[in-house]
A and B are shown apart, each in its own frame.
Chain A
Amino acid sequence: MNRRIIPLALLILGTAAWLSGWNVRQAPAQETQPPVAAPEFGDAAIAETPTPLHVEIDRLIRERTPNYDSMAAPLATDGEFLRRVSLDLTGLLPSVAETRAFLADTDPAKREKVVNRLLAHPSYPRHMQRTFDVVLMRRLAAKHVAAPAWETFLRTSFAEDKGYDQIVREILAADGTDPKARGPARFLLDREGDSHEITRDVARIFLGANLDCAQCHDHPSVDGFKQAHYYGIQAFVVRSFLFTDEKKVAMMAEKADGEVTFESVFEIRDKKSSGPKSLPPQIFEKVSFTEPKFDKGKEYVVAPDPKKKEVRPIPKFSRRAHLAEAVASRDNRRFARTAVNRVWSILFARGLVHPVDMDHAANPPSHPELLDLLTDEFMRNRFDVRWLLREIVLSSTYQRSSQRPVGADGKAEFPPETAFAQAPVRALSPAQFAWSYCQATGEADVQRNALGNKLSEETLFQRLAGYESQFTNRFGGQPGKPVEGLEATIDQALWLSNDAGVLSLLNVRPGSLSDRLVKLPADNPAAIAEELYLTTLVRPPTPQEVAEVAEYLKDTTPETRPNAIKDLVWAVTMSSEFRVLH
C-alpha cells in the first residue's frame, strides 16, 4: 500500500535536467533545476506515520548518545552535501553548472529537491547495479554468465524499483536453464554451484552472519553462530551441483537425495564426538517446509542416467527451490535487518550492527530501536531500496559535515564512530573515482558534446566505460576480495602520476577544464581558483586556496601557463579530498 511511484512528470524532469545539465555549453545554470519538486515521495508515508522516517532516524540517533548535540558536527555545507549525495545516489560528480545553481538556490527545500532529482536520475540504477554487484559477487570473475547479462538484470531491477526481497528471490531461484534469463543465475553459477561457497555467501550477504568458522565447528567466540546453522543452510543446496549441457552451457541441477553430515573437529580432537549429525534445510533453526516422500524409483521428473552425462536430472521435489523463499521473505527478519544495515553501512562506512556480517547477540547494534524501525519500515515499504535511501539521505544524521571545528592547537576532538555524529570519510569506489575524474577534467563533457543528439545515459556510459574498467582493475581489489576502504599502493600512485592516458585528460582542448581555466584572465586568479575548486571539489576555494592558486601561476608566461594549469588540475584531482566521499 505504501508503494511509492515516482511521478512520471518528475522522471521526465529529472531526465531533462540531466540531459541539459550535463552539457556545459548549452545549459544555463538555472535550467539544471527542475522548476518544481513535488514532494510526492513522502506523501503516503506522511499520511500513515505521524513523523517521516528521516525525522525518526535523527531522533533515535540523538537520544541514544548523551551530549549528542554538543559532539555533533554541524550540517554539511551546500557544496559538501551536493557532492556527497550526488556520488551516493548516482555515482557521479555534479557538473559545475549544477553546483553553481545549487549554491545560488535560496529555496529552503533545495536539498530535498536535489535528492528527488538524483533519485530520478538515469544514473541511479547503474550506480545501484555497481554497488550491489560488489556486494553480491565480490568481483568474482564472470565465468558461466556474461557480466553484462547480470548487470542488466540488476540495473533493470533497480530501475523498476523491484523490491530487494524480490531481487534476491530471483537470484537464488535462477538455475540458468532459461537462456533469456541467465543474468540472475550468475550468483549460483559463478560460484560453480558449490554448496559450501553458496552457504557461506548466503549467510554472510543475506543473513548478516559470517559462518565461515562454523563449517568445521561452532564459532569459537560467537555463541550465536553454530555449526548447525551452517549445515541448516547447506542442506538447501547440498543436492545441487553445476551441470554442463552438450553445448557447454552451465546450469544448476539437483539430485533427489543427499543429506548434510557434520561433526565438530574440536569434538573429534577431544574424543567427545557422538558421531556425525544431519539436519533438514533450515534458516537459523527455522524449518519452513516439510519434505514429501516418494517411493523408490519415483523421485524424479527426469532421472539421472549414469550412462548419459548429458541428461540433467530434475527431482520431483527441489530443496533448492525453497531457499529463495526461506531466505528472502518477511518471515525471516534477519534478511530485512541485514539489508537495511548494509545500506546504512554503505552510507556511513559503519553498520548499526558492525561488522555487517557479525549480527549476533553478543555484538548488539549501536542503535537497536533504530535498526528495528528501519527493518519494519523497509518491509512495510516492500523492500524498496530507493525509498530507504531517500529517507536516510534526508536525515540530518546523513547530512552532517565530515569536519569538526579545530582548537587553537589545530587539533579536533572526534566523537565515537558509533554515535554517528560526524560524517565519515569514505573512499570513492573505483567507478566513482573514474567518473569523478572524467567529470572534473571535462572528459565527460567532451564526450557529451561529441554524442550530440545521441546523448543518453547509456551512450555516455559506453563512451566512458573504458576509463571505468581501467580504474576498477587498478583500484577494485582482486576477485573475491574487493577492496574495502582506501587501500593505496605505489603502483596506483605511479599510474595516476605518470600514465599518459590519465594525464591526457588534463590537456587543453575544447570542453576540458584546463581549456576553461586557460581562457580565464591570467590576472584574475580568484576566478581561476573558483572555477577549479567548484568543478573538482564542488565547493568554493578558501581565501588561502585562492592565494595558493595565485602563487602557483605567478611567474607563468602565455607559453608556460597551459602546462602549469594542467599540473594544477592534477594536484587538486589527485588530492585526498578528491579521492574520498566526505
Chain B
Amino acid sequence: MTYSPACGSAAHLSRRSFLQGVTTGALGAIGFAGLTHARAAEQLTRAQKQVVVFWLSGGVSQLETWDPKPGTDNGGPFQTIETSVPGTHICELLPYTAKQMHHLALVRGINTKEGDHGKGAYIMQHGYKKTPGFEYPHLGSAFSSLLTPAGSPLPGYIHVAGGANAKDASFLGPRHAPVALANGKAPDHLDRAAGMTAEADAKRRAMRAKVSQQFSTGRKATETEAYSASYDQAASLMARKDIFDFSTISEADFARYGKHDFARHCLMARKLVENGVTFTKVNHREYDTHSENFNFHIEQLGEFDQPFAAFVEDLADRGLLANTLVIVMCEFGRTPRINQRVGRDHWGTAWSIAVGGAGIKGGAVVGKTNENGTKVIDREVDGGHLFHTYYKAVGIDSTQPFWDNDRPYHKADPQASAIDEILA
C-alpha cells in the first residue's frame, strides 16, 4: 500500500509495514497532522480507497426501495418516481436519493437463500455462509487490513452507532477489529488522565521509548517494536481526536441532513471519510417490519433518505466519492407477499442492494425479478458475487487469498465472480 503524502515529504515514503514492527508512528503523526484541510484529505484519499456501509438492520424492503412493483398483487400502496437516471425508477419513499441515482448502481437479482437475521447478516458481511469452527473476516476488517496505509494512526474499521465485535477481525488480528463509536461518541481513553499535562505525557512517552530502545539492542525485536508502535499510534490518535469531535457540525449541515441520530451519524461518517478512515459502518435500525410494513417504511426511510442522499452528494462534491465505495445493504429483503398484519416477512430469495462510488458505474442496474417480485429472472447473484464486486471496485484482486499460518483463505467464494455490469 502506498500513498502520496500531502506535504510531499520524502520521509513518509519510507514507511514500512506495521506488522514488520517498525516504529514509524511518530513520522506518521506528522504526515497526518498535516492533513487537516479538505484539499489535503482529498489528496490523501485519491490514493487510498475507502468504504462506507450503511447497514439497514432488520432487512429493508426491496419493494419499498430499489425494486418497486406498483400495481401488482405484491406491490403495496406506493408509486415509483423518476430518478436522475433516465429510465430507472425507484420507490417514491426515496425522493432525495432518487436525485443521486447517477452515483449509484442497483443490484436487483440477489438470492442469498437465507431468511435468518444472524445467518443472513453473516453472508452479507463476510461473503460466505457461516462455517462452524471458523470465522471469515468481516468486510470491515478485510478492508482495514488491505487498504489502510501502513503506520496510519487511525483505526481501519469504525462502527458508528453499533457495537464492536472483536470476532470480526478473525485471523487478521486485533489491529483490524472494529472500533465502536457507540451512540456516536469518541472511543474510550482518548483523553489524557486528569492532571496529566501534555508536556508530562510527552516526557513519560519519550522515557518509555528510551527504555524500550535499550532493550532492543542485541535482541530480535519485531514484536516489541509493534508494541512500541501501538503507543505511538495511540499518541497520534490522541493528537487527532478532533476527527471524533462532532460538535462542530454546522447549522447548514444540519439543515441539509436533519437533526435526528441517523443524520448525525451520516455527518460523522462524512468526517471520518474526509479524514481517511478506511472502513466506516453506519447503522440504521428498525426495518424488521413483520407488521405495519408500509407505515414503518414511511417512517424509517423518511429518516434515511435525506441524510443518505446528502452524504452521497457531499462526497461527490468534495471529490471523495471516486475513491469511496458506498454500499447500502442489510441481511435480507422482505417477502413480496403482504401478510395478514400488513407486514412483510424475512426474504432472501429475490432482493436488492445499492452500491456507488469507487469503481462503480453510476446509474447501472443489473439483475431482474419477475413481475410481482417473487423470483429472480435475470442475473441472479449471491454474497460471493457481491464480495468479488466490492473488492474489484476498490482495486483488489479477489482471487488472491488471505493467508493465515500458511493456510490460504479465499477472499470471496471462488465459485462466484464480480458483477462486471456495474463496474466502471
Can you list 24 pairs linking A and B with CB atoms under 8 Å apart? Answer: A196-B133, A213-B407, A403-B217, A487-B173, A488-B227, A489-B177, A490-B234, A491-B189, A493-B230, A493-B231, A494-B187, A494-B190, A498-B189, A499-B193, A500-B193, A570-B208, A571-B205, A575-B211, A576-B221, A576-B225, A577-B211, A577-B212, A577-B214, A582-B219
A427 to B226, CA, bound (A): 12
User: Separation in Å of the A529 CB from the closest CB of chain B?
Assistant: 11
| 3 closest Cβ pairs, A-B complex | A576-B224, A488-B230, A571-B207
Any A CB within 8 A of the CB of B215:
yes
Chain B residue nearest in CB terms to A570: B204
**Which residue among B135, B216, B218, B228 has the maximum number of chain A CB atoms within 10 Å of its CB?**
B218
Contact (Cβ within 8 A) B174 A498 = no
Contact (Cβ within 8 A) A414 B230 = no
Contact (Cβ within 8 A) B166 A478 = yes
Chain B residue nearest in CB terms to A475: B174
Contact (Cβ within 8 A) A479 B221 = no
Known: A479-B167, A576-B212, A576-B227. 17 other contacts (CB 8 A): A194-B132, A200-B133, A405-B218, A477-B166, A483-B174, A486-B227, A487-B174, A488-B175, A488-B227, A491-B187, A497-B201, A544-B214, A552-B207, A567-B200, A572-B207, A575-B208, A576-B221
A571 to B207, CA, bound (A): 6
Any A CB within 8 A of the CB of B140:
no
Q: Which of B94-109 contact A (CB under 8 A)?
A: none
Chain B residue nearest in CB terms to A533: B211
Contacts of A197 in B (CB 8 A): 132-133
Contacts of B134 in A (CB 8 A): 212
Contact (Cβ within 8 A) B204 A410 = no
Contacts of A575 in B (CB 8 A): 208, 211-212, 215
Chain B residue nearest in CB terms to A349: B223
Contact (Cβ within 8 A) A403 B224 = no
Contact (Cβ within 8 A) A580 B211 = no
Chain A residue nearest in CB terms to B223: A486
Any A CB within 8 A of the CB of B317:
no
A434 to B235, CA, bound (A): 23
Chain B residue nearest in CB terms to A473: B166
Interface residues of A (CB under 8 A from B): 194, 196-197, 200, 212-213, 355, 402-406, 410, 412, 414, 425, 427, 477-481, 483, 485-500, 503, 542, 544-545, 548, 552, 563-564, 567-568, 570-572, 574-577, 579-580, 582
A406 to B216, CA, bound (A): 11
Any A CB within 8 A of the CB of B179:
yes
Contact (Cβ within 8 A) B174 A406 = no
A480 to B132, CA, bound (A): 11
Any A CB within 8 A of the CB of B45:
no
Contacts of A496 in B (CB 8 A): 231
Any A CB within 8 A of the CB of B11:
no
Contacts of B405 in A (CB 8 A): 355
Contact (Cβ within 8 A) B204 A568 = yes
Chain A residue nearest in CB terms to B203: A567
A552 to B210, CA, bound (A): 12
Any A CB within 8 A of the CB of B238:
yes
Contact (Cβ within 8 A) B155 A490 = yes
Contact (Cβ within 8 A) B188 A494 = yes
Any A CB within 8 A of the CB of B50:
no
**Which residue among A196, A487, A496, A544 has the maximum number of chain B CB atoms within 10 Å of its CB?**
A487
User: Separation in Å of the A234 CB from the closest CB of chain B?
Assistant: 13
User: Separation in Å of the A165 CB from the closest CB of chain B?
Assistant: 26
Contact (Cβ within 8 A) B188 A491 = yes
Contact (Cβ within 8 A) B220 A425 = yes
Contacts of A571 in B (CB 8 A): 204-205, 207-208, 210-211
A286 to B205, CA, bound (A): 59
**Which residue among A481, A545, A576 has the maximum number of chain B CB atoms within 10 Å of its CB?**
A576
What class of interface size applies to chain B in its complex with A? Answer: 35 or more
Contact (Cβ within 8 A) A498 B195 = no
Known A-B contacts A494-B238, A579-B224; the reply to A404 vs B175 at CB < 8 A is no
Any A CB within 8 A of the CB of B237:
yes
Contact (Cβ within 8 A) B228 A576 = yes
Contact (Cβ within 8 A) B219 A403 = yes
Interface residues of B (CB under 8 A from A): 132-135, 153, 155, 166-167, 169-171, 173-175, 177, 179, 187-195, 200-201, 203-205, 207-208, 210-212, 214-221, 223-231, 233-235, 237-238, 405, 407
Contacts of A481 in B (CB 8 A): 135, 167, 170-171
A535 to B228, CA, bound (A): 22
Contact (Cβ within 8 A) B191 A498 = yes
Chain B residue nearest in CB terms to A424: B220
Chain A residue nearest in CB terms to B174: A489
Contacts of A493 in B (CB 8 A): 230-231, 233-234
Contact (Cβ within 8 A) B237 A490 = yes
Contact (Cβ within 8 A) B207 A568 = yes
User: Separation in Å of the B390 CB from the closest CB of chain A?
Assistant: 24
Contacts of A200 in B (CB 8 A): 133
Contacts of B210 in A (CB 8 A): 548, 571
Contacts of B407 in A (CB 8 A): 213
User: Separation in Å of the A473 CB from the closest CB of chain B?
Assistant: 10
User: Separation in Å of the A141 CB from the closest CB of chain B?
Assistant: 11
Chain B residue nearest in CB terms to A563: B200
Contacts of B212 in A (CB 8 A): 575-577
Chain B residue nearest in CB terms to A498: B189
User: Separation in Å of the B340 CB from the closest CB of chain A?
Assistant: 32
Contacts of B133 in A (CB 8 A): 196-197, 200, 212, 480
Chain B residue nearest in CB terms to A483: B174
Contact (Cβ within 8 A) B234 A497 = yes
User: Separation in Å of the B303 CB from the closest CB of chain A?
Assistant: 31
Contact (Cβ within 8 A) A499 B189 = yes
**Which residue among A481, A485, A503 has the maximum number of chain B CB atoms within 10 Å of its CB?**
A481
Contact (Cβ within 8 A) B190 A488 = no
A570 to B206, CA, bound (A): 11
Chain B residue nearest in CB terms to A194: B132
User: Separation in Å of the B241 CB from the closest CB of chain A?
Assistant: 10
Chain A residue nearest in CB terms to B164: A491
Chain B residue nearest in CB terms to A357: B405
User: Separation in Å of the B175 CB from the closest CB of chain A?
Assistant: 6
Known A-B contacts A495-B188, A574-B231; the reply to A489 vs B175 at CB < 8 A is yes
Chain A residue nearest in CB terms to B216: A576
Chain A residue nearest in CB terms to B231: A493
Contact (Cβ within 8 A) B215 A576 = yes
A564 to B155, CA, bound (A): 31
A269 to B381, CA, bound (A): 22
Contacts of A492 in B (CB 8 A): 174, 230
